[in-house]
Structure 1
């Protein structure tokens, strides 16, 4: 069985909780990310998604200078790099998320896997479809 480390994106950027939403949004735009881990003191303390920015910031009329910590999601869901693709897809489905930070056994961030990462591999089309169905449940 293929592991998450085989399909994850290793180009990971971490944003600080005191960074502005503008800085985070620009990083997302420039690097084509839909989610950024939020880190402080060498620990992941949350995640920031493009949806967080739209729903928790723009819709609430927050300034582009608003710190990331005011709109980030504080609950961090993650998987280990040696977990299987099926384990990662199941976690995405169960938690209804499309992107998942991946850590090594020392709990150091080593990558991010997205639903799209599963979909590009022909052998993971069914896994991807099942995860999408779970994510899309109301």
Structure 2
């Protein structure tokens, strides 16, 4: 049975505008228990920012998180996938580009994110990564 990205992606992604402060993005991540947020300009995808990006590209650089925008911290070189593509293509993209999350885009608009954890839970829920991904956060 063929599986598609739409079957496992996290839909209705949280988005922020490029001028949003790193502090505001960190609060959204905390409050909504997210590890990644899409950066959009209007309806157009501009980047993806992870909790790790906030630390490495903003805080570790000594930037003021209130003054630093998410545009300065996000990954702009994105590889996207459509919801109607097969899961094997998502796996291939993640391997080729060494990424853990891929934005899902339909007709130019972001509709979700597929993550390494999503794939692990779908393909091998008993694996360590699948088990960790399925666990409730320890907040």
Q: Give the TM-score category using the shorter length.
A: 0.7 to 0.9
Q: Is the 8 A contact 2:35 2:51 kept in 1?
A: yes
Deviation at 1:38, TM superposition (A): 0.6
How many residues of Structure 1 are paired with residues of Structure 2 in the alignment?
125
1:10-33 CA-to-partner distances (Å, cap 9, x unmatched) read: 131111110000111111112222
- Matching of residues 11-30 of structure 1 within 5 Å: 11-30=12-31
Tell me the residue number matched to 1:133. Answer: none
Gaps of 5+ in 2: 129-139
User: How many Å separate the matches in 1 of 2:113 and 2:105?
Assistant: 9
Alignment match of 1:91 (pick from 78, 90, 93): 93
Tell me the residue number matched to 1:38. Answer: 39
What is the RMSD computed on CA atoms of the aligned residues? Answer: 1.8
1:52-100 CA-to-partner distances (Å, cap 9, x unmatched) read: 1111111111111111111211112110101111100110111111111
Alignment match of 2:75 (pick from 73, 76, 82): 73
User: How many Å separate the matches in 1 of 2:93 and 2:29?
Assistant: 24
Deviation at 1:45, TM superposition (A): 1.0
Tell me the residue number matched to 2:134. Answer: none
